[in-house]
């Protein structure tokens, strides 16, 4: 059985991010929850880099003005927490 890290490294993240572009609210919620797991769960702080590489920031920003308040708050919170002013300064 694959671990979470192996699952992500094998490329499932891009497929999940593609789902966020669907009109299905529950699919979008699932993707945002999965992205949160990747952001906080990958070892050595690799989560934000992986999400950025797969255009996950753009995907989350699609919800910046979304009519669904829960999705809007979830996406904006993730962007602020993981890609705020401090992101990338240590590189």
CATH number for the domain that contains residue 43 = 1.25.10.10
Distance, CA of 57 to CA of 18 (rounded, Å): 12
Q: How many domains does the chain have?
A: 1
Residue whose C-alpha is closest to residue 56's, from 86, 85, 78: 78
Distance, CA of 8 to CA of 12 (rounded, Å): 5
Residue 16 has pLDDT above 90, yes or no: no
Distance, CA of 35 to CA of 13 (rounded, Å): 8
Residue 83's pLDDT band, with cuts at 50, 70 and 90, is: very high
What are the tokens at 7? 């699952």
Residue 22's pLDDT band, with cuts at 50, 70 and 90, is: confident
Residue 87's pLDDT band, with cuts at 50, 70 and 90, is: low
Give the domain range for residue 32. 4-83
Averaged pLDDT score across all residues of the chain: 88
**89 assigned to some structural domain:** no
Q: Which residue has the higher pLDDT, 78 or 23?
A: 78
């Amino acid at each position: 059985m694959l671990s979470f890290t192996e699952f992500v490294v094998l490329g499932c993240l891009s497929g999940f991010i593609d789902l966020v572009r669907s009109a299905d609210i529950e699919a979008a919620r699932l993707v945002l929850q999965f992205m949160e797991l990747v952001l906080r769960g990958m070892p050595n702080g690799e989560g934000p880099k992986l999400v950025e590489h797969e255009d996950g920031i753009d995907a989350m920003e699609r919800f910046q003005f979304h009519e669904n308040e829960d999705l809007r708050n979830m996406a904006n919170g993730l962007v602020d927490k993981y890609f705020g002013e401090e992101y990338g300064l240590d590189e």
